[in-house]
Amino acid sequence: MITIIGTGRVGVAVAIHLAIKGLDDIMLIDIIEGLPQGEALDLTHMCATLGIDIDISGSNDYKDMSGSELVIVPAGFIRTADMSRLDLLYKNSEVIKAVSKGIKEYAPNSKVIMVTNPLDVMTYLAYKVTGFERNRVLGFSGLLDTSRYKSLIAKELGVAASTIYTTIIGEHGDTMVLLPRFTMVGGVPLESLIPKEKIQQIIERTKKMGAEIIKLKKWSASHAVGAGVATMAEAIIKDTKAVIPVSTYLQGEYGVSDVCVVVPAVIGKNGIEKIIELPLNDEERAAFLKSVETVKSAISQLKL
């Protein structure tokens, strides 16, 4: 069973994509009476229409996540256009503490995908509160930020986004480090296809894309998040060994410890099966370390 804690727009988007993939039965949990139960019914009818045979249930009680192989956490307050992801720290840390305690009690053998912002800080908090091994606590964001980056590159070059490979490191936020040197378009290095100045413009727009979406539709992104989280879930449930950038607790990798930030990793049935260390140059490493310090500063404000 896969449990989703938090059935707002993001949680429902995640549920839709999980259901379409037919990976496992789904349990929706929320503190609002009736909401997860109603969404479960609606999604059940969607599955019947599509010929998907999985069970979807809703509950207001953490105990109903018992037996879950995977717990996905989009619970919490959303970001408004004038807020940074870090502005959400104080509001969402109390939510994630409570959720993490529930997971520890009722789904002690699960893997956890954190979706709540500020993503890296909340991933760190969930790791510390659950006490799980680090491979079992993953933060979603890398697939979202790289999808935005790839879509802009695809539009600039007039190519399919599916032909672009890239990755990302650092914070899910303003100091994220996109990596043109590790970006390939059909096997061709990006830097040989687009001028450096234009690449930098694409990177800056990628960093601001979350706020741009909020400003336009008056709500945070959900569709791309749902698709990305379901992709991570599929890698775990099907043990695909996909290489995905995820937020994870570092223990010396990249010369960094006691922080959760995004790095590429192999994802399979055990969660994070291997962290991939990229051969960064001096400029990339400096940007990464600056991003790490931003997250560490935010973590220092947590009350564990």
Domains recognised in the chain with CATH numbers? 2-139 (3.40.50.720), 142-299 (3.90.110.10)
Asked whether the CA dihedral 233, 237, 242, 246 is positive or negative, the reply is positive
CA distance 263 to 34: 38
Give how far Cα 241 sits from Cα of 38, 105, 223, Å: 35, 28, 24
CB–CB of 199/166 below 8 Å?
Answer: no
pLDDT at 303 (0 to 100):
76
Q: Virtual CA dihedral for 96, 129, 243, 245, nearest 10 degrees?
A: 50
State residue 90's pLDDT score: 82
255, HSE (Cβ side, Cα atoms, 13 Å)? 9
Q: How many CA atoms lie within 13 A of 269 on its CB side?
A: 2
> What share of residues in the chain are helix, strand, coil (percent, to 5)?
50, 20, 30
> Strand pairing partners for 259?
250
What does the pLDDT read at residue 223?
96
List per-block mean pLDDT (blocks of 10 residues) for the chain, which spans 304 residues.
Answer: 97 98 97 97 98 97 97 86 71 93 98 96 97 98 96 98 97 95 97 96 94 89 96 98 98 97 98 98 97 95 81
Active-site residue, from 17, 45, 172, 223 = 172
Q: What are 73's strand-pairing partners?
A: 114
Q: How far is CA 93 from the centre of its chain?
A: 17
Q: What is the pLDDT of residue 256?
A: 97
Q: Is the separation of the CB atoms in 148 and 206 below 8 Å?
A: yes
Three-class DSSP category at 262: strand
pLDDT at 84: 67
pLDDT at 79: 67
Examine the residue annotation and report whether 172 is marked as an active-site residue of this protein: yes
Q: What is the pLDDT of residue 83?
A: 67
Listed in sequence order, the residues at least 6 apart from 181 whose beta carbon sits closer than 8 Å to its beta carbon are 189, 191, 281, 284
DSSP 140: -
From CA 217, how far away is CA 226, in angstroms rounded?
17
Cα–Cα distances in Å, from 139 out to 87, 118, 212? 18, 10, 22
Is residue 257 within 8 A of residue 250, CB to CB? The reply is: yes
